Amino acid sequence: MNEENNKTIRLKEMFRGLECVFAPTIPYLYSFDKLLKSRVVRTIERVSTSGTF
């Protein structure tokens, strides 16, 4: 459990660093992130209903 927490914290720090680097493109990244999430959610829903990719 603690190991998972450490990984999550490390990932968050990494993303924070990336945000600093990509600050000018953050609005674009966030819209891309939303697009990606909705696509992932749709894929997961399709997988859970049909059982295949």
Phi, psi of 52 (to 5 degrees): -135, 160
Give CA–CA dist 28/5, Å, rounded: 29
Q: What is the pLDDT of residue 22?
A: 67
Mean pLDDT by 10 residues, the chain (53 residues): 82 79 72 87 85 61
- Looking at residue 53, its pLDDT comes to 53
Can you tell me whether residue 53 is helix, strand or coil?
coil
Residue 44 covered by a domain: yes
CA–chain centroid gap for 12, Å, is 11
Per the structure block, which two tokens stand in for 24?
């000018």
Instruction: Measure the CA–CA gap between 18 and 8, rounded to whole angstroms.
Output: 15
For the entire predicted model, the pTM comes to: 0.36
Q: Assess if residue 50 is contained within a domain.
A: yes
Q: What is the pLDDT of residue 2?
A: 80
Number of domains in the chain: 1
Is 16 among the domain residues? no
Give the residue numbers spanning the domain of 50. Answer: 24-53
Question: Is 17 within a domain?
Answer: no
Q: What pLDDT score does 26 carry?
A: 67
